[in-house]
Chains A and B, each alone.
Chain A
């Protein structure tokens, strides 16, 4: 039998001026189950709390109802009070008679009546409250970072800096990601490699960071603080522990037809290769599509040449299973395919390139050693035309509806660098809008125009075609209301970016959500921008939305601080107001599993006694309280009524409805 105490707060005159607290006290004292009712000036004050504690002891209360301000204000306070008095913290209900009553009503009669109803409703609810204990789980003090681009690198370094172990899983043979492919970075124009490669080296040298390159996440189980992850280390046919990265194998390889992915396929590489000079790990890898030994068992030259015996043609994929407390997703982006944009002639003309290809063409480590030469004939282009928004802001179904955000800035960068290095080159930029918000960004773009004389044309290109060896760029000049044709030597397309396609698979494995453009969804667009809706999983970089390097680094560091905050805890206290299942009623229909946004519900086969000494095995739902966030979606979806929510049970809410509807 419950013994409930009701505590009515005056909140100075905030409540007492409109609500007749004495009448409320009298009325509530007569409620069934209520053994004590009292009013006081400030319940939340030291004295008020002491009053509650004393009453709990004196009247052997099993639960308390505080009629005061919003539970969003002082619920936590009164829970602590109750706990200090030896009561379970969840045997507390708040009747909001300030925000929902005294503050919005003027008539004392009306307000008092309503306050009584609200207090009764809270009593009706508390009579069915049960003591709840928040579960505790341990935390594995290690983080997993999926993706080894600048986002992953920065997050890993920051986490390692706080003293925690971090593993980076990178699907390519080296970390570095897209930033490693860039030539210079805006708005300062420092060399991308110069600022990135030291960070890559730091990763390699840190005793806290472990890099799984050429590896992929195979399977993820568990929950916040306790993820079990299986990692597939793809066979690179080179023993990482032995290879010194000397490069002798590359020189000896007779197969030279492989397309150099790092250089955006603009030149070739051997079948055994190190992606680029500063690769981390600096270890060779064999491309099985190109290797003569692996394809037809001929050759074997590299094995003979290798001084340390690192080549292993028989190597197979291997698996590593590790535990992690937190996961950072940083899977990055790629430029979209241009199949739907043949009006720009990308498929038919070698000298129509994407911006990322131009980065390689301008990079000292690129296929042209940093001299800007056009791919078709290796000549210096004299007229270069840039086209912005290729595939961005396109709702026709051919491209992407969003703004890719980085193109305005990198196009200004390219234009500027070209004019700086080759002042005799004419540079035109077709733009729809110039979007350069950010510190020193618009100034940067203006410099391209004012200092470097880049010709910006407001308008869009309709067709690019080859005529007598010139690329004719036909577009509109809207400010002049003319259609113009610019005979160019090189055309650069500011291609839209999209999340790396691997993100879909990762999202499924981590039960995190993805939007219609395949960007990962954050827990709250404004206030929790680096957290995924799944506890313990964090987002960094373009996988969450288009962003440039500085923004990516900020987000990665923010991610790291969230991870550190999580790993710093020894125990994670859960929210006890979670779902639970009545196994006797559960039919194992899976509907709750489908609506759960957190993947908190799994199915187990369980043995049940069915009388006569017999048992039967049934499939029933099982809620992981550490993962459940307590939204209650499953409770309503469940067709058999087996699902219920602690703290907000169906029976409680029905009682509240009844209390309100009692005339």
Chain B
């Protein structure tokens, strides 16, 4: 395995739905279950609010990984939102893979409000994967980096 360059600090954007995953993240926090600081959370009402453009934007601005978290299928606060997410993102992620963004850089996870431990474990695992993959430059728009 190649040695990972320590100079690169990865950037991970996590979209969390307000009702399950964001609450799961809160539980991880109040249980003091750590996960790497490179994970930054954006709160959305439902995972289905995540437009593929948001994911593209993240990679355009140099994100190394994007993860979506929602309620477990069948438990969506809005009944069916995460089903849309699941289908939509399966397509989106396979398209990104085609563009050269390794499929490991995108992930979708179902985390309930009670799964603080799972949230932390998922984030640790994802950050580890991203760290191993190293820097992602494939979609980065350098014009944005003045």
Contacts and interface: CB of A to CB of B under 8 A. Distances in A.
A121 B54 contact: no
B84 A99 contact: no
A595 B61 CA distance: 30
Contacts of A631: 45-46, 48-49, 77-78, 81
A633 B29 contact: no
Interface in B68-116: 75, 77-81, 84, 88
B29 A98 contact: yes
Nearest to A632: B49
A72 interface: yes
A656 B42 contact: yes
Contacts of A595: 48, 80, 84
A50 interface: no
A625 interface: no
B133 interface: no
Contacts of B117: none
A569 B44 CA distance: 29
B33 interface: yes
Contacts of A121: 40, 42
Interface in B10-38: 11, 13, 18, 22-23, 25-26, 28-30, 32-35, 37
Contact of A100 (B9, B29, B63, B81): B29
A120 to B, nearest CB: 10
A307 B44 CA distance: 69
A637 interface: yes
A648 B23 contact: no
Of listed A72, A110, A113, A631, residue having the most chain B CB within 10 A: A631
Contacts of A72: 18, 22-23, 26
A528 to B, nearest CB: 10
A105 interface: yes
Interface in B42-56: 42-46, 48-54
Contact of B40 (A103, A117, A523, A635): A117
A99 B75 CA distance: 24
Given A98-B29, A521-B79, A662 B61 contact: yes
A168 to B, nearest CB: 28
Contact of B49 (A525, A533, A636, A663): A636
Interface string A96-114: 1011110111110011011
Contact of B45 (A118, A523, A577, A661): A577
A647 to B, nearest CB: 8
Contacts of A597: 78-81
Contacts of B81: 597, 631-633
Given A99-B26, A637-B84, A654-B54, A113 B48 contact: no
Contacts of B53: 650, 654
B95 to A, nearest CB: 15
A70 B26 contact: yes
A70 B21 CA distance: 13
Contacts of A113: 37
Given A533-B78, A597-B78, A104 B43 contact: no
Contacts of A662: 61
B122 interface: no
B57 interface: yes
A105 B37 contact: yes
Interface string A463-503: 00000000000000000000000000000000000000000
Interface of A: 70-73, 96, 98-101, 103-107, 110-111, 113-114, 117-118, 121, 513, 521, 523-525, 533, 577, 595, 597, 629-633, 635-637, 645, 648, 650, 653-654, 656-658, 660-663
Top 7 nearest A-B pairs by Cβ distance? A99-B29, A632-B49, A661-B61, A631-B78, A631-B46, A103-B29, A104-B34
